[in-house]
């Protein structure tokens, strides 16, 4: 979806924003803390990989277990 996809980790203030990356068939992702602070971002080859990378980044930042 062009507007981006949001996911949240239940019980935390962490959200993932996943969206297509400007027509290059890759996926942009962000990890957002407290509704506004971007703590990590990146680009993945597929949508599932973007979710996985966002989750790994949130774990590395010790935002989730």
Query: Where residue 24 falls among pLDDT bands split at 50, 70, 90?
Result: confident
Q: pLDDT tens across 29-64, in order? A: 999 998 899 999 999 999 999 999 999 999 999 998
- pTM as predicted: 0.80
Domain ranges across the chain: 5-60
Mean per-residue pLDDT, 5-19: 72
Contacts 24+ apart (CB under 8 A), 6-14: 7/51, 9/58, 9/63, 9/64, 12/63, 12/64, 14/58, 14/63, 14/64
Which residues are bridge partners to 22 per DSSP?
A: none
């Amino acid at each position: 979806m062009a507007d981006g996809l949001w996911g949240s980790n239940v019980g935390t203030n962490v959200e993932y924003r996943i969206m297509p990356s400007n027509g290059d068939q890759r996926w942009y992702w962000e990890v957002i803390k407290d509704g506004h602070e971007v703590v990590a971002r990146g680009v993945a080859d597929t949508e599932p990989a973007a979710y996985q990378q966002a989750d790994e980044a949130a774990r590395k930042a010790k935002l989730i277990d």
